[in-house]
Amino acid sequence: MAARPAQPRPAGDGKEDAVKGREAPGPAALHDCRVVESRPVGAYRLISFVCREIAAAARPGQFVMVRESGPALDPLLPRPMGIHDIGSDLISILIEPVGKGSGRLAASKVGDRLAVLGPLGRGFDLQKKGQAVIVGGGIGVSPLKLLARALAERGRSMRLILGFKSRDQAASAGLFRDFDGEVFTEDGSVGSRGLVSEPLPGCLLPPPEGEPAPEVFACGPGPMLSAVARISSECGVPGVRTQVSVATHMACGVGSCQGCVVAAAGGYVKACTEGPVFDAEELKW
């Protein structure tokens, strides 16, 4: 199948965006992709497919819209999936099978074909220097591997904190074995017992004189992101910036359906085109 351009519509119908100063994502395209890896990772499924074009263009924090290739009508809509990792011509996604759509994708076998639109959305801003504190919860850890790799390539020191409900979910922490991370589970079955937000205050300390303040990157369920945003804003260290990747229901991924809006200080914004990554201070918690 030839790639077809799918230019995202400008947010705000030509009006000034509620979130200022953010570079618009470039054009995406629809690709027919062959699955080359499909394996369980605890409660999740790691799927890798060939798409050189997306691999060349994707940035940490962006996502793709994925469905089975072909004329299938049930389910009709694609599912948004954070980009977990990229290779020279490979894209990996981590799927939590929770419904019919995600369940069908998680059942993909090597050799199956997927219709993939992407890369989509605005990803993480990596321009700042200083220590990076990466916080992930549940399936929200998925886009953080590509982020951690990008930060490491930039020479930034990192503290990686991953949280899960149970041992089955925590199996995905093994995907981060190249990084020195801490694991928390709510039931204490793996790592330390507790919530992933609990060690965050100890990470947000005043930097040495002349060094930039720490920066927080977070992806996970809404209550976790809210806690991370609050802790970061109340830590008492000037200059701390917190970027959060929000998870919302999406039908199109390009801003047409307006079904993924989240509340921001200047009004509602579309997570698919103005996000999914936002500065925490831009959103209403």
Q: Is residue 125 part of a domain?
A: no
- The model carries a pTM of 0.89
Compute, in degrees rounded to 10, the torsion defined by CA atoms 59, 62, 64, 65: -160
> pLDDT per residue over 45-86, tens digit each?
999 999 999 999 999 999 999 999 887 667 778 999 999 999
34 bridge partner residues: 113
Supply the range of the domain harboring residue 209.
132-282
Q: Rounded to an integer, what distance in angstroms lies between the CA atom of residue 127 and that of residue 112? A: 38
> pLDDT per residue over 180-219, tens digit each?
999 999 999 999 999 999 999 999 999 998 899 999 999 9
Is residue 93 within 8 Å of residue 106, measured between CB atoms? no
Residue 144 shares a structural domain with residue 256: yes
Residue 142 shares a structural domain with residue 19: no
> pLDDT per residue over 124-152, tens digit each?
999 998 899 999 999 999 999 999 999 99
What is the rounded average pLDDT for all residues in the chain?
A: 89
At 16, is the pLDDT very low, low, confident or very high (cuts 50, 70, 90)?
Answer: very low
> Among residues of the chain, what percentage have pLDDT more than 70?
90
Q: Is residue 126 part of a domain?
A: no
Write down the pLDDT at residue 71: 74
* Sequential DSSP letters for 197-216: TTTHHHH--PPPTTSPPPEE
Residue 253 shares a structural domain with residue 199: yes
Residue 64 shares a structural domain with residue 202: no
Is residue 203 within 8 Å of residue 159, measured between CB atoms? yes
Give how many domains the chain has, as a whole number: 2
Is residue 282 within 8 Å of residue 17, measured between CB atoms? no
Residue 51 shares a structural domain with residue 164: no
